[in-house]
């Protein structure tokens, strides 16, 4: 089994019917880099930059951040790296941010409070520093910049203005940065963003679906709470409808779309997601070989058929049963 997964590394993630799928890795801490390089992933689809702020005494400045990003981008040797600006708030915690008086809102519902892009637009210095560091590091290879937890186009516009301004400022200083600036995209992880994907896709240069949060917000079930774990179901047809809407909008506006929630690492889920129109996945590096193996066994017709059935299903259980039956029959 291990040997076979090892051999898969050099094989393309291609369906038996010919369509090619992109598989990338999520990075949570830099120590995962060797595993990512080993996995056969074609780049980093989600660099969660929260690690920069964890166990940190002070806020990481522009040059410190640049020095962290540079080797990660270089190590990908020309494969793209999608850096998500810090997604703080909700259940995540940081000493450095607390000490700077950031993210201690006392919201009664932290998941519905100031987190993600909301926090960054309230503390613009954080966003400016991170944009500048990413732009400096972008000389090392292809980079994309991603905004977390967007719920309205105004947030994208405000962040984009800051991004453009930081780009101009660096150029004025004589810093060598890519022209045009690296693509600026957004995560789709609120029902509002999925429902408005058509509008957002006009202005965001790429979309990435975060099914961990999208599931939580759609079903009003905390992703971390065990007492509602049975309600938290990414196969719920309501979640799948939103994935479908997002994929359709991206296709209409010719924007790249990927999916980077935990769901992407589940070989059972992959035929469904491909059928819903997703051709790019980002997941923990350890999942890349088995997802690739699942993809190589798939035919597009089956994927489409399953997606249609799933969208018409009455609940998530019906969908998982269908997917498990399909996986068992294929074995
Ligand atoms: C998600 O919400 O699906 C996601 C990928 O972001 P995170 O898990 O970091 O919130
Ligand atoms: Mg998220």
Give the pLDDT confidence score for residue 92 in this predicted structure: 66
Averaged pLDDT for residues 49-62: 93
Report the pLDDT value the prediction gives residue 229, as an integer from 0 to 100: 94
**Mean pLDDT confidence for 92-110:** 77
What's the pLDDT at 110? 87
Residue 260 Cα to ligand 2 midpoint, Å, equals 9
| Residue 189 near ligand 1, beta carbon < 6 Å | yes
Structure confidence at residue 56 (pLDDT): 87
Task: Confirm whether residue 223 is marked as ligand binding.
Answer: yes
Contact 242, 232 (CB under 8 A): no
Q: How confident is the model at residue 225 (pLDDT cuts 50, 70, 90)?
A: confident
Identify the residue whose C-alpha is closest to ligand 1 atom 3.
Answer: 210
Residue 7 pLDDT > 90, yes or no?
no
pLDDT of residue 2: 75
Q: Report pLDDT for 91.
A: 61
What ipTM did this prediction achieve? 0.99
Phi/psi of residue 259, nearest 5 degrees = -130, 125
Portion of the chain with pLDDT greater than 90, in percent: 87
Rg of the chain over Cα atoms, rounded to whole angstroms, equals 20
Is the pTM higher than 0.95? The answer reads yes
Write out the catalytic residue numbers. Answer: 260
Return left, alpha or beta for 80; rule: phi > 0 is left, psi -120 to 50 is alpha, else beta: beta
Q: Where is pLDDT greater, at 92 or 30?
A: 30
pLDDT in tens, 234-243: 999 999 999 9
pLDDT of residue 267: 96
Separation between Cα atoms, residue 118 and residue 122, nearest integer Å: 6
Please tell me the distance from the alpha carbon of residue 116 to that of residue 93, in angstroms, as a whole number.
12
Task: Pick the more confident residue, 92 or 84.
Answer: 84
Would you say 204 and 184 are in contact if contact means Cβ atoms under 8 Å apart?
Answer: yes
Measured by CA distance, the residue closest to atom 4 of ligand 1 is 210
What's the token pair of residue 94? 């940081």
Mean pLDDT of the 179-198 span: 98
Mean pLDDT of 96-101: 82
What pLDDT is attached to residue 192?
98
181 touches 159 (CB < 8 A): no
Closest CA relative to residue 209, chosen from 153, 115, 282, 157? 282
Q: Is 293 annotated as a binding-site member?
A: no
pLDDT of residue 107: 73
| pLDDT at res. 254 | 98
| pLDDT value at residue 55 | 82
3-class secondary-structure state, position 185: strand
């Amino acid at each position: 089994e291990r040997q076979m997964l090892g051999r898969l590394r050099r094989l393309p993630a291609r369906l038996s019917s010919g369509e090619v799928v992109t598989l990338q890795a999520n990075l949570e801490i830099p120590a995962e880099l060797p595993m990512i390089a080993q996995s056969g992933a074609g780049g980093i689809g989600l660099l969660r930059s929260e690690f920069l702020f964890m166990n940190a005494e002070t806020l990481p400045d522009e040059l410190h951040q640049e020095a962290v990003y540079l080797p990660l981008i270089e190590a990908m040797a020309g494969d793209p790296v999608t850096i998500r600006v810090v997604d703080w708030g909700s259940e995540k915690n940081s000493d450095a941010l607390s000490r700077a008086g950031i993210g201690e809102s006392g919201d009664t519902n932290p998941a519905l409070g100031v987190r993600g892009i909301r926090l960054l637009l309230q503390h613009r210095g954080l966003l400016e520093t991170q944009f500048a560091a990413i732009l400096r590091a972008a000389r090392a290879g292809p980079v994309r910049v991603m905004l977390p937890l967007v719920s309205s186009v105004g947030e994208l516009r405000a962040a984009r203005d800051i991004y453009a301004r930081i780009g101009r400022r660096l150029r004025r200083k004589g810093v060598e940065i890519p022209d045009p600036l690296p693509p600026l995209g957004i995560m789709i992880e609120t029902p509002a963003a999925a429902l408005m994907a058509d509008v957002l896709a006009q202005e965001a240069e790429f979309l990435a679906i975060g099914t961990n949060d999208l599931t939580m917000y759609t079903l009003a079930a905390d992703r971390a709470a065990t007492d509602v774990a049975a309600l938290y179901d990414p196969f719920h047809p309501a979640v799948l409808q939103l994935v479908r809407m997002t994929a359709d909008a991206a296709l209409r506006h010719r924007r790249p779309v990927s999916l980077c929630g935990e769901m992407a690492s589940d070989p059972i889920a992959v035929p469904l997601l491909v059928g819903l129109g997703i051709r790019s996945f980002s997941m923990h590096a350890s999942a890349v070989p088995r997802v690739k193996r699942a993809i190589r066994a798939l035919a597009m017709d089956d994927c489409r058929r399953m997606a249609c059935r799933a969208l018409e299903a009455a609940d998530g259980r019906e969908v998982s049963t269908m997917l498990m039956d399909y996986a068992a029959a294929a074995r």
